[in-house]
A = this chain, B = another copy of it.
Amino acid sequence: MHENNAKFFMKDVQKRKDNRGLKIKEVGISDIFLPIFVSDKKNQKQQVIANIKASVGLSRAKKGVHMSRFLEIISKYQNFNFNNLSVYDLLQEIKNKLDSSLANIEISFMYFIEKIAPVSQKKFLMGYPCKIISRIFRNGKVSQELIVEIPVSSVCPCSKEISKIGAHNQRGVITIYVETASFIWLEELIEIAEKSASGVLYPILKRIDEKYVVEKMFNKPKFVEDTAREVALRLKKDKRIINFTVECTNYESIHNHNVYAKITSK
């Protein structure tokens, strides 16, 4: 049989009826890696390597979805400029072509920003893990979420007060989740986190920078609770943000475990 005719004889198993009476909340694909473009405040757009998860809802009566369609649609968006609002276009197309009443997409990538050393002015890119989540619900409502992980440093205030010689400090990470109906730059969330921590991380630091950064960090000691609260205060003031969660984790230098604090707007 000629392969090009084969499909006419092929059974479409996914299209069959299902009689178990259970709708499926999400059915789709995960771990699709693809270079795409995302909106960049300074350079308009930036090429990133995305890990994509996409799904639709499946009604009670249907047996399955045609998984290859997700990729056929996604492949058309390779030169698109993604941000928390524009991802909606891809989502809508998935919903329509997969004939569903709801659809979800998660796009994870490392986003790069140029960091400038505070004294020497040496430049180098630093990567921030980001995720854009977009959903259309059954009732027609849309939700747009942004998640950004910002590595920072912290100096322990307790440690600083009880000793004259030093204080333990360490790398940590601030994870910001925001739900929004408006456009937000990734750069804005990164700036909020970096302002709220004891210290900002830089790729290149010459000795004059290191002195500056370390002294600044020691003059701004913060518990993980403090950092979480300062990020939360800044997020609360932003009218574009509907809901947020901030989670701060410090990789304690005197322990092999972490401390963390989480604040949610709800």
Contacts and interface: CB of A to CB of B under 8 A. Distances in A.
Contacts of A212: 3
Contacts of A68: 122, 204-206
Give the residue among A3, A232, A255 with the most B Cβ atoms within 10 A. Answer: A255
Contacts of A171: 170-171, 251-253, 256
Interface string A50-85: 000001001000011101100110110010000000
A125 B159 contact: no
16 contacts: A3-B211, A6-B119, A7-B208, A20-B230, A22-B263, A26-B260, A27-B225, A27-B262, A49-B49, A71-B204, A163-B214, A167-B214, A171-B171, A171-B251, A201-B256, A217-B254
A228 interface: yes
Nearest 4 pairs between A and B by C-beta?
Answer: A166-B218, A33-B127, A27-B261, A26-B262
Interface string A27-52: 11111111100000000000111000
A170 B253 CA distance: 5
A257 B64 contact: no
Task: Give this chain's copy count.
Answer: 4
A229 B153 CA distance: 28
A124 B207 contact: no
Contacts of A169: 166, 168-170, 253
Interface string A216-256: 01110001111011101100000000000000010111111
A4 interface: yes
A177 interface: no
A202 interface: yes
Given A14-B158, A78-B125, 9 more contacts: A6-B207, A11-B162, A29-B259, A33-B126, A34-B124, A47-B47, A63-B226, A163-B215, A166-B169
A125 B28 CA distance: 18
